[in-house]
Amino acid sequence: MNKAVNQKAWFLILPVLLLVAFSAVIPLMTVVNYSVQDTFGSNKFFWVGLEWFEEMLASERMWNALGRQITFSAIILAIEIPLGIFVALNMPKKGFWASLCLVLMSLPLLIPWNVVGTIWQIFGRVDIGLLGYTLSALGIDYNYTQDFYAAWITVIVMDVWHWTSLVALLAYAGLQSIPDAYYQAAKIDQASRLSVFRFIELPKIMGVLMIAILLRFMDSFMIYTEPFVVTGGGPGNSTTFLSIDLVKMALGQFDLGPAAAFSIMYYLVILLVSYVFYTVMTNLDKRDGH
C-alpha cells in the first residue's frame, strides 16, 4: 500500500507540541539544568556535573525519606485495596440504596486535599477535635504532634478515609459488568462463596484493580498536602515524606541543585514503577493466550 506523504501534517501536532513544551518539557529541563549547576547567588551558575546526584545518593536524609515514603505507600495499598474490594462486594447492586452508596462514597473524593488535611488536623486535636478529645477522654495517650505512632496512624487513617472510595468505586464498576449468568452458573456448579470471588469476581475486576493500584501508588508516592497540613512532616522528621522533604530542601533551604537532582531521581522512580504496572496490565489479557 502506498501511503501519501504529506509533511504539512506536522503542523497539526504543533499546538500539542507547544502546550507540552511549556507545561512539561521546559519546566523539566529547568530542573535538569539546576541539577548539574551550582550558584553562589546573584544568578551566576557554574557547571558541577553529576556532583549533586552523587551527594544525594549518599545522603542519609534522602534514603530515610524514601524509606518512609515506601513504607507509607505499602501500608495504604495493603489497607485500601482489600478494604475497597470488600466494600464494593457488599454494596447494593441496584436501586435507591445503590445510588445513595455511590454518592456517599464519592464525597471524600470531592474534597480538596488541603481541606482534607485541615479536617483531620482539627478532628485529631486533643483540645477541640472530636477524635482527639474522645481518645484522650478514654485515657488513650494520643497526640499526633508529639507522638511518632499517633502521627503515622493519623496520616494513614486520613489517607484510607480519603481514597478507599476510589478503589471501591472502581472495583464496584468492575463487579457490575459481570453478567448474571456467571453467578447462576456458579450456583449450578455448587461453587462456594470463596470460589465465586476467586474464580469469577477477582479475574473479572483484575483490570480495573490494576488501574486502582497504579493510581493509588502514584498518588500516595507523591503525597504532599494532607500530611503537610496535619503534621507538617513531624514530629521530628517522622512523617516527612519525599515530596515534603523536597519542598523543604528547594524552597526552605533554597538548595536548588541538590533538590533538582533529588526530584529527578524521584521522578525516575515513579516512572519506573508506573512502567512496570503498565507492562503487567497490558500483559494481563495476553497472558495464557497460547
Partner 1 sequence: MAKITLENLAHSYLPNPKSEDDFALKELNHDWVDGEAYALLGASGCGKSTLLNIISGLLHPSQGRILFDDKDVTMSPTTQRNIAQVFQFPVVYDTMTVRDNLAFPLRNRRADPAYIKDRVQQIAAMIGMEATLDRKARGLTADAKQKISLGRGMVREDVNALLFDEPLTVIDPHMKWELRTQLKSLHHEFGHTMIYVTHDQTEALTFADKVVVMYDGRVVQMGTPQQLFETPEHTFVGYFIGSPGMNLLSATVEGNTAVVGGTQIPLGKAFGAPTGKIELGVRPEFTSLASGDEGLPITIKRVEDVGRHKIVRADFNGTEINILAPEGATILPEMNRVIFDPAGINIYSDSWRVAPKVA
**Site residues (vs partner 1, CB under 8 A):** 179, 181-182, 184-185, 187-192, 195, 199-200, 203-204, 285-289
Q: Return the number of the residue (161 or 199) whose C-beta is nearest partner 1.
A: 199
User: 192: how many CB neighbours lie within 10 A of its CB?
Assistant: 9
| Minimum CB distance to partner 1, residue 161 (Å) | 33
β-strand 37-39 against 45-47: which pairing, if any? antiparallel
> Which helix (H) or strand (E) covers residue 1, if one does?
none
Q: Which grid cell sits at 257? A: 541543585
Write the secondary structure of 33-75 as one string of H (helix), E (strand) and C (coil). HHHCEEECCCCCEEECCCHHHHHHHCCHHHHHHHHHHHHHHHH
| Minimum CB distance to partner 1, residue 52 (Å) | 48
Q: Return the number of the residue (158 or 205) whose C-beta is nearest partner 1.
A: 205
| Minimum CB distance to partner 1, residue 182 (Å) | 5
| Minimum CB distance to partner 1, residue 187 (Å) | 4
Rounded to whole angstroms, the Cα distance separating 18 from 168 reads: 38
| Minimum CB distance to partner 1, residue 200 (Å) | 7
| Selection from 124, 160, 151 nearest residue 237 by Cα | 151
| Minimum CB distance to partner 1, residue 89 (Å) | 18
| Minimum CB distance to partner 1, residue 162 (Å) | 32
Q: Return the number of the residue (9 or 188) whose C-beta is nearest partner 1.
A: 188
C-alpha separations of 124 from 81, 136, 147, 152, 172 in Å: 25, 10, 12, 12, 31
How buried is 137 (Cβ within 10 angstroms: 0-12 exposed, 13-18 middle, 19+ buried)?
exposed
Rounded to whole angstroms, the Cα distance separating 186 from 183 reads: 5
Q: Return the number of the residue (7 or 190) whose C-beta is nearest partner 1.
A: 190
Give the rounded distance of the alpha carbon of 18 from its chain centre.
28
Rounded to whole angstroms, the Cα distance separating 116 from 230 reads: 9
Q: Which grid cell sits at 289? A: 493466550
Give the rounded distance of the alpha carbon of 46 from its chain centre.
36
With a CB cutoff of 8 Å and minimum separation 6, the contacts of 256 are 34, 39, 250
Q: Which grid cell sits at 130? A: 472530636
| Minimum CB distance to partner 1, residue 206 (Å) | 9
